[in-house]
Amino acid sequence: MFSYCTDPASLEGIAWLSCYLTTGKHFAFYGSFGTVAILLLITAPLALAFGFAGAIAARSSFLPVRWLGKGYTAMVRGVPDIIFFLFVPIALDQAFEWTRHQVLCPDWDQPVRQGSDFVVCNAAKLPLSSAPQWLHEGYGFALAVLAFSVVFGAFAANVLFGVMRAVPRGQLETAEAYGMTPRQSFWRVLVPQMWVYALPGLSNLWMILVKATPLLFLLGVEDIVYWARELGGSKTSAYAYPHPDWRLYYFLGLLVFYLMLTKVSEVVLGHLTRRLTHGQATAGGEAQRRAAA
Amino acid sequence: MSCWETIADYGLRSIGIGERLLPRSDFTLCQQFVLIGSGMIWNIYFGVLALAFGFFMSVTVALGKGAQSPWLRKPAEWFIFLFRGSPLFIQFFLAYEALVLLPRAGIDILGITIETSWTTRAWAGALFVLFLNTSAYAGEIFYGALRSVPKGDIEAADAYGMTGWTRFRRITFPTMLRLAWPAYTNEAIFLFHATALVFFSGFPAWQQRGDALYYANYFADKTFNPFVAYPIAAFYFICLTLLLIGLFGLINRRLNRHLPAERRKSMKLRPQLIR
């Protein structure tokens, strides 16, 4: 990057380090922090939407839908999330390809599963084998995001299902007394009031989501863990910047990054909780009122 | 090959007893069930030992965080922050890289050579990380419970003339444990789930001796079919979770046995999911 970096072998000390830390691969490493941020920013709202749908389904008066919702909320209860992270992307990938296979190649006569192979016709492959590299990576990342959203949606559904029952019964009875239909009282009374009860659970969920992001590495995405291992591994003199095994320092960097991320989240969420409890008929709101008085 | 033979061959494969080579093709359902079940030995090993050692450490940490003196409080606070604020996955990687850097030949202390190579193996290194991790999480739980021990209980103990260690052992500690127990059950469940991460996080599975998820992943990779192996692993974990809830529920009953019936909080069958 700098003009004096043309011959790394002749450099020493700070100059060497400044050149080392600005190589193309290091910029890919810095960029992968963006990958984590994108994952968080897409997954959080998507998981919330999944969770909301799951919670509504679990409250449905129509039995099959209720079973579906209950099953979705129960799925994360006894099974480690990492099993889902390994399972969901492959399962989704195969489900997509199989569906496309059925639609695009109806006259294909061989079975899809042949021994230990999963064979679909060429037109059904996702992404197509002729697709550019970025599309392959993007598809992998999208599957990862979907896996995260499904799993954390189930967590969120648990939180929201409990929270919908925490809204005082009197509020809903009042709504009914005013002649609101169940749909109206749900959207106009229950949903606006439930967020303050949901906040502790959801902030906890955000913390878990943040701490689950390094699992992206297991899904084959080139994230910060991938680059930390890649760059930290010992480099022989065949490389421009030879160095011994520095993975420990790279992982220390990641540790500090995550500690800062969780600390900042904690402060922001604490602030948000105080804002939302203001004026609410809860113990927290009451405590705020007393402190001010 | 009948299923009984498979059990004899692979039932203890994860600890190195039985057939040396893993099945390579034509996997039967029986093989998958047996081998993944055999891997559960490691999950239970990590979970039970980390929980057992971690219990004492976490009470110590909770007391440290509740202490007046900053010399005790600050280290406990930092310990909890460090392990609760960072992903377990990164902790595993970091610990492994740090342990690899220990001198290969062992450390010489006063003429006695202390072997170090075993620390990089999963049974020791990963257990150590899990132990510290659960100590921090449970420490925070116990700290919260310590702060909500009813004032009246302590005052009653004072009135009886109990002080110091006696008061802690007979009043503070049992009450703290009782209050913390539901949350601690939740933490135990999460710890057992976290053991599935061990062999995906730097610690190599020596001679293909891995945990349940390691074998499930092996089968899913070989057959390219995730719909059999992962549900089997999930099934085992669900059984383990139910067993844990049952066991911890029994302890909970014992901890609450002195309370009048209506104040006894029975363990909810719907544990919190949030760590």
Dist CA B22 CA B36 (whole Å) = 12
Contact B237 A248 (CB under 8 A): no
Q: Which two structure tokens, joined as six digits, stand for B5?
A: 């033979």
3-state DSSP call for residue A281? Answer: coil
Q: Which residues of B touch A198 (CB under 8 A)?
A: none
Cis peptide before B174 (omega within 30 of 0): no
Which tops the pLDDT comparison, B19 or B191?
B191
Q: What is the pLDDT of residues B100-116, one digit of tens each?
A: 887 766 677 777 777 77
**Closest partner CB to B274 (pick from A79, A205, A212):** A205
- The 3-state secondary structure of B11-58 reads CCHHHCCCCCCCCCCCCCHHHHHHHHHHHHHHHHHHHHHHHHHHHHHH
Q: A188-202, A234-248, B235-249, B257-271: which has the minimum mean pLDDT? A: B257-271
**Closest partner CB to A80 (pick from B84, B193, B222):** B193
**Closest partner CB to B101 (pick from A201, A248, A262):** A248
Phi, psi of A113 (to 5 degrees): -95, 110
Q: How far is A193 from chain B (nearest CA, A)?
A: 22
Q: Which residues of A touch B84 (CB under 8 A)?
A: 262
pLDDT band at B141 (very low <50, low <70, confident <90, very high): very high
Residues 6+ apart with CB under 8 A from B86: A211, A255, A258, A259, A262
* Bridge partners for A117 per DSSP: A114
Contact A262 B194 (CB under 8 A): no
Q: Which residues of A touch B82 (CB under 8 A)?
A: 259
For residues A232 and A246, is the Cβ–Cβ distance under 8 A? yes
The answer on pLDDT for B236 being more than 50 is: yes
Q: What is the pLDDT of residues A181-211, one digit of tens each?
A: 988 999 998 988 888 888 888 888 999 899 9
pLDDT band at B80 (very low <50, low <70, confident <90, very high): very high
pLDDT at B105: 67
Q: Which residues of B touch A80 (CB under 8 A)?
A: 192-194, 196-197, 213, 237
Q: What is the pLDDT of residues A37-63, one digit of tens each?
A: 999 999 999 999 999 999 999 988 889
Q: For residue A244, give the chain B residue with the closest CA.
A: B101
Phi, psi of A53 (to 5 degrees): -60, -40
Q: Which residues of B touch A150 (CB under 8 A)?
A: none
**Closest partner CB to B230 (pick from A77, A83, A218):** A83
pLDDT at B65: 93
Contact A211 B86 (CB under 8 A): yes
DSSP, residue by residue, A43-93:
HHHHHHHHHHHHHHHHH-SSHHHHHHHHHHHHTTTSS-HHHHHHHHHHHHH
Q: How far is A205 from chain B (nearest CA, A)?
A: 7
Contact A116 B91 (CB under 8 A): no
Calculate what percentage of chain A has a pLDDT beyond 70.
98
Interface-testing mutation among A72, A75, A83, with chain B (most B C-beta atoms within 10 A): A83
Dist CA B94 CA B229 (whole Å) = 30
Nearest CA among B180, B153, B144 for reference residue B267: B180
Contact B237 A78 (CB under 8 A): yes
Contact B82 A259 (CB under 8 A): yes
Asked if this assembly's ipTM is beyond 0.90, the reply is no
Dist CA B198 CA B92 (whole Å) = 7
Q: Which two structure tokens, joined as six digits, stand for B214?
A: 């390691």
Q: What is the pLDDT of residues B196-216, one digit of tens each?
A: 999 888 788 888 888 899 999
Q: Which residues of A touch B223 (CB under 8 A)?
A: 116
Q: Which two structure tokens, joined as six digits, stand for B254?
A: 């014992």
Q: Which two structure tokens, joined as six digits, stand for B10?
A: 């692979």
Q: What's the average model confidence in pLDDT over B222-232?
A: 87
**A3-8+18-292 topology per CATH:** MetI-like fold (1.10.3720)
Q: Which residues of A touch B81 (CB under 8 A)?
A: 259, 263
